[in-house]
Structure 1
Amino acid sequence: MSLISEKELAVELKTEQSVEAAYSRELVQVTADLRRGLPTLIECDKELAPFVFLQIRNRLKEFSLKCQYLDGRQPATSEGGMTVGLLASILNQLREAVRGATEQKVLILPHLDLLTTSQGGLTSEAREAVVLLYENPNIVCLGFKDPSFPLPRVIENLFPRRVNLLGIPRDRLRYLITQKESRKFGRELNPWALYKYVSGMNAVRLRRVLSTLEGEDYPTDPRKAYSEIRSATLAGSLEMPEVDLNRDIGGYAKVKTRLQREILDLLLRRERAESEEAASRLEELIPRGLIFWGPPGTGKTFFAKAMATAIGAAITIVSGPELKSKWVGESEENLRLIFHKARQAAPSIIVFDELDSFASSRGTYSGSGVEHSMVNQLLTEMDGFHKDELVFIVGTTNFVEALDPALLRPGRFEFHLHIPYPDAEDRRAILKIYDQKMNLQFTEAALEMAVKRTGDFVEGTADDTRFSGDHINALCRSIARIRLRENKTGPTAASEIEQALMEYVDTPKLSAQEELVVATHESGHAVCALFCPNSPPIERITIQSDSARALGYVRYQDRNNRFVVTRNELLDDICVLLGGREAESLLLEDLSIGSSDDLKRATSLARYLVEEIGMGGDEVGVVRYMEDFRQGATRWSSLSEEQKQILDRRVKEILKESLQRAAAILRENRALLLSLRDLLLDKKVIDSKTLQELKK
Structure 2
Amino acid sequence: MFSLSATVQPQPLLTLRDFGLSDFRVSHLGELFDRLLPCQPAELSNTSTLWKTSYISSQTFFQNKHGFSDTPFGTLRSSFFCRQHSSNLQSVCSDLHYWPVFIQTRSFKTLKSKTRRLQSTSERFSETESTPTSFLKGFLLRERAPDVDSLEKLMKTKNIPEGQQDAFKTGFAEGFLKAQALTQKSSDSLRRTRLFLLVLLLLGIYGLSKTPFLSVRFRTTSGLDAAVDPIQMKNVTFEHVKGVEEAKQELQEVVEFLKNPQKFTALGGKLPKGILLVGPPGTGKTLLARAVAGEADVPFYYASGSEFDEMFVGVGASRIRNLFREAKANAPCVIFIDELDSVGGKRIESPMHPYSRQTINQLLAEMDGFKPNEGVIIIGATNFPEALDNALIRPGRFDMQVTVPRPDIRGRTEILKWYLSKIKFDVSIDAAVIARGTVGFSGADLENLVNQAALKAAIDGKDMVTMVDMEFAKDKILMGPERRSVEIDRKNKTITAYHESGHAIVAYYTKDAMPINKATIMPRGPTLGHVSMLPENDMWSETRSQLLAQMDVSMGGRVAEELMFGTEHITTGASSDFDNATKIAKMMVTKYGMSEKLGVMTYSDTGKLSPDTQAAIEQEVRTLLKDSYERAKSVLKSHAKEHKNLADALLTYETLDIKEIQMVLEGKSLEPKSCLS
The structural deviation recorded for 1:337 is: 1.0
1:279 aligns with 2:252: no
Query: In the aligned structure 2, how far is the partner of 1:582 from the partner of 1:436?
Result: 46
| SS of match in other structure, 1:318 | strand
The structural deviation recorded for 1:598 is: 1.5
State the superposition RMSD in angstroms.
Answer: 3.3
The structural deviation recorded for 1:596 is: 0.9
1:355 aligns with 2:332: no
1:404 alignment partner in structure 2: 389
Alignment of 1:619-658 (within 5 A): 620-622=597-599, 624=601, 626=603, 628-629=604-605, 635=607, 637-641=608-612, 643-658=613-628
2:419 alignment partner in structure 1: 434
The structural deviation recorded for 1:332 is: 0.4
1:543 alignment partner in structure 2: 521
Equivalent of 1:517, from 469, 476, 495? 495
1:332 alignment partner in structure 2: 317
1:424 aligns with 2:398: no
1:533 alignment partner in structure 2: 511
- Greater displacement, 470-479 / 410-419: 470-479
1:578 alignment partner in structure 2: 555
Rate the CA distance shift 1:549–1:427 in 2: closer, same or farther, 3 A.
Answer: farther
Letter in 2 for 1:281: L
1:444 alignment partner in structure 2: 428
Rate the CA distance shift 1:694–1:258 in 2: closer, same or farther, 3 A.
Answer: farther
Query: In the aligned structure 2, how far is the partner of 1:646 from the partner of 1:257?
Result: 50
Equivalent of 1:469, from 443, 447, 453? 443
Rate the CA distance shift 1:280–1:383 in 2: closer, same or farther, 3 A.
Answer: farther
Output one character per residue of 1:192-217: Cα deviation in whole Å (capped at 9) or x when no partner.
xxxxxxxxxxxxxxxxxxxxxxxxxx
The structural deviation recorded for 1:356 is: 0.8
Letter in 1 for 2:226: G
CA contact (8 A) 2:436 2:534 kept: no
CA contact (8 A) 1:521 1:584 kept: yes
1:378 alignment partner in structure 2: 363
1:414 alignment partner in structure 2: 399
Rate the CA distance shift 1:449–1:257 in 2: closer, same or farther, 3 A.
Answer: same
Query: In the aligned structure 1, how far is the partner of 2:297 from the partner of 2:250?
Result: 19
The structural deviation recorded for 1:397 is: 0.9
Report the TM-score when normalising by structure 2: 0.58
The structural deviation recorded for 1:583 is: 0.8
1:493 alignment partner in structure 2: 466
Query: In the aligned structure 2, how far is the partner of 1:646 from the partner of 1:485?
Result: 57
Equivalent of 2:583, from 593, 604, 621? 604
CA contact (8 A) 1:294 1:300 kept: yes
Query: In the aligned structure 2, how far is the partner of 1:552 from the partner of 1:377?
Result: 56
Query: In the aligned structure 1, how far is the partner of 2:594 from the partner of 2:546?
Result: 12
Rate the CA distance shift 1:346–1:451 in 2: closer, same or farther, 3 A.
Answer: same
Rate the CA distance shift 1:449–1:545 in 2: closer, same or farther, 3 A.
Answer: farther
| SS of match in other structure, 2:379 | strand
| Structure whose alpha-carbon radius of gyration is higher | 2
1:249 alignment partner in structure 2: 241
| SS of match in other structure, 2:261 | helix
Alignment of 1:156-195 (within 5 A): none
1:238 alignment partner in structure 2: 228
Rate the CA distance shift 1:308–1:445 in 2: closer, same or farther, 3 A.
Answer: same
Letter in 1 for 2:228: L
Percent same amino acid at aligned positions? Answer: 31
The structural deviation recorded for 1:581 is: 0.8
Query: In the aligned structure 2, how far is the partner of 1:306 from the partner of 1:621?
Result: 52
The structural deviation recorded for 1:685 is: 2.7
The structural deviation recorded for 1:563 is: 3.5
1:390 alignment partner in structure 2: 375
Rate the CA distance shift 1:532–1:694 in 2: closer, same or farther, 3 A.
Answer: same
Equivalent of 1:258, from 250, 259, 267? 250
Query: In the aligned structure 1, how far is the partner of 2:622 from the partner of 2:630?
Result: 12
Rate the CA distance shift 1:365–1:279 in 2: closer, same or farther, 3 A.
Answer: same
| SS of match in other structure, 1:570 | helix
1:667 aligns with 2:637: yes
Output one character per residue of 1:485-530: Cα deviation in whole Å (capped at 9) or x when no partner.
7765x44222333565678955443514333222222221221122
Alignment of 1:26-425 (within 5 A): 236-240=226-230, 241-260=233-252, 262-270=253-261, 273=263, 279-281=265-267, 284=270, 286-363=271-348, 368-384=353-369, 389-425=374-410
Letter in 2 for 1:382: M
The structural deviation recorded for 1:448 is: 5.1
Query: In the aligned structure 2, how far is the partner of 1:521 from the partner of 1:355?
Result: 48
Rate the CA distance shift 1:408–1:500 in 2: closer, same or farther, 3 A.
Answer: same
| SS of match in other structure, 1:298 | coil
Rate the CA distance shift 1:577–1:450 in 2: closer, same or farther, 3 A.
Answer: closer
Rate the CA distance shift 1:677–1:257 in 2: closer, same or farther, 3 A.
Answer: farther
1:565 aligns with 2:567: no
The structural deviation recorded for 1:669 is: 0.8
2:151 alignment partner in structure 1: none
| SS of match in other structure, 2:519 | strand
Structure 1 residues without counterparts, runs of 5 or longer: 1-146, 150-233, 457-465
| SS of match in other structure, 2:239 | coil
| SS of match in other structure, 1:540 | strand
| SS of match in other structure, 2:276 | strand
Output one character per residue of 1:270-297: Cα deviation in whole Å (capped at 9) or x when no partner.
36x4xxxx6343751x422111121222
| SS of match in other structure, 1:444 | coil
Rate the CA distance shift 1:606–1:452 in 2: closer, same or farther, 3 A.
Answer: closer
Rate the CA distance shift 1:450–1:565 in 2: closer, same or farther, 3 A.
Answer: closer
Report the TM-score when normalising by structure 1: 0.57
Letter in 2 for 1:295: P
Letter in 2 for 1:522: E
Query: In the aligned structure 1, how far is the partner of 2:550 from the partner of 2:470?
Result: 31
Query: In the aligned structure 2, how far is the partner of 1:503 from the partner of 1:608?
Result: 30
Query: In the aligned structure 1, how far is the partner of 2:561 from the partner of 2:660?
Result: 23
Higher RCO structure, 1 or 2 (CA under 8 Å, sep 6+)? 1
Query: In the aligned structure 2, how far is the partner of 1:283 from the partner of 1:581?
Result: 65
Q: How many residues align?
A: 437
Query: In the aligned structure 2, how far is the partner of 1:571 from the partner of 1:428?
Result: 30
The structural deviation recorded for 1:248 is: 1.9
The structural deviation recorded for 1:672 is: 1.5
Query: In the aligned structure 2, how far is the partner of 1:282 from the partner of 1:601?
Result: 57
CA contact (8 A) 1:266 1:282 kept: no
Query: In the aligned structure 1, how far is the partner of 2:582 from the partner of 2:455?
Result: 46
Letter in 2 for 1:441: F
| SS of match in other structure, 2:381 | strand
2:79 alignment partner in structure 1: none
Letter in 2 for 1:594: G
Equivalent of 1:682, from 652, 657, 665? 652
Letter in 2 for 1:495: V
Letter in 1 for 2:618: D
Output one character per residue of 1:12-68: Cα deviation in whole Å (capped at 9) or x when no partner.
xxxxxxxxxxxxxxxxxxxxxxxxxxxxxxxxxxxxxxxxxxxxxxxxxxxxxxxxx
